[in-house]
Each structure stands twice: as C-alpha cells, then as structure tokens.
Amino acid sequence: MRIGVLASSGGTNLEAILRAGLPVVAVVVDRPCGATAVAEAAGVPAELVPRTSFGPDFDRPAYTEQVVDALERHGVELVVMAGFGTVLDKQIHDAYPGRILNTHPALLPAFPGWHAVEEALAAGVKVTGCTVHLATLEVDSGPILAQEAVPVFDDDTPETLHARIKEVEHRLYPETIKRFIS
C-alpha cells in the first residue's frame, strides 16, 4: 500500500511513520515546514503545493485538486495526514474513499479543531490524549481507529502537554496505520 503523507509542521509524526518502516512514497506539504527536510533525509520525494491564501478568497476545491494530482502522480493509495493545516474538500474523499487517516491531539469527540491542546488545558481536564481516525469531509470526525489517554499535569503548558501527547502519537499512529493496511 503506497502511502502519501500530508504535513504542514515539524514532521515528527512523519519521522515516526518512516522509522516504523511504512512505505511512504511521497510527502505533500502546503507551506514550507520541517516535514520537507524529514522527507528528504529519508530519500522520500517532498512536494510543496503552496497554499497562497488563508482568506475568504481561498479556492478550496481547486487547491484540493492540486493535492490530489500530486498524490496520484506518485501512485499514492493511502493518504496519511500528519499535522496537515488545510481542510481539504470533497475531491480527495472521492479519490481516496475510506483511505484517508488522521491523528488528532485530543480524545475526540472532545476538542476538535486546531487548538485541541490549548482548549483541553483551558477546560481543566485531567486526562486528554490522541485519536487516530478515518478522515471524513467533516473535520475531526469519522470512525475512530485508536485512542490513548495522556495525563494532564498541573504545571503543564501547551508545549509540555503537546510533547507528551506526541510521544504517544509517535507509537500509536504507525501501529494503527500498520493494522489498517493489514
């Protein structure tokens, strides 16, 4: 199963996926970010499909088409989102029905969205975690494949809490991708 990873950030989950020996054939990023260097260090082609607008004029369907084109050019069969910062439109779900995975740094359905770690801290929860799920058109919903709890400590900052969550993601996400493939 040829994997394409979508990323927008540091790429530590990508690194964990590569370390696990999963067959990543391409990495697509929507902005310059650390994931590109991680891909290149592993000899995996990284493609920047630049998102030029973050405003109301953003053409989401056209952008999604470009991402799908990049994935298809590399013969990708399974899409793995690892900290991808753009919500993609219907076209990617048509091209990869039931074949898009995501990891989220909270116990969904609690704290969906981009500020999951900050919101969990602000809510004062004592336990949060991470969720690996099938991505659907609606953001951070979709069938849950795996979840693991992570404790929240009194002196946590968003950074320390996110680091603790990522430690778990780095094990849980590759494991779950392997299970999904088999």
Catalytic residue positions, numbered: 104
DSSP state of 57: T
Residue choice 78, 166, 174, 177 for contact with ligand GRF (CB under 6 A): 166
Is 93 an interacting residue with respect to ligand GRF (CB under 6 A)?
no
CA distance 43 to 154: 41
Is 10 an interacting residue with respect to ligand GRF (CB under 6 A)?
yes
Burial class of residue 111, CB neighbours in 10 A (0-12, 13-18, 19+): buried
CA distance 107 to 85: 19
Residue choice 3, 5, 6, 11 for contact with ligand GRF (CB under 6 A): 11
Is 141 an interacting residue with respect to ligand GRF (CB under 6 A)?
no
Q: How far is the CB of 57 from ligand GRF (least distance, A)?
A: 25
CA distance 81 to 5: 6
Is 105 an interacting residue with respect to ligand GRF (CB under 6 A)?
yes
Phi/psi of residue 94, nearest 5 degrees: -70, -40
List contacts with ligand GRF (CB under 6 A).
7, 9-14, 82-83, 103-105, 166, 169
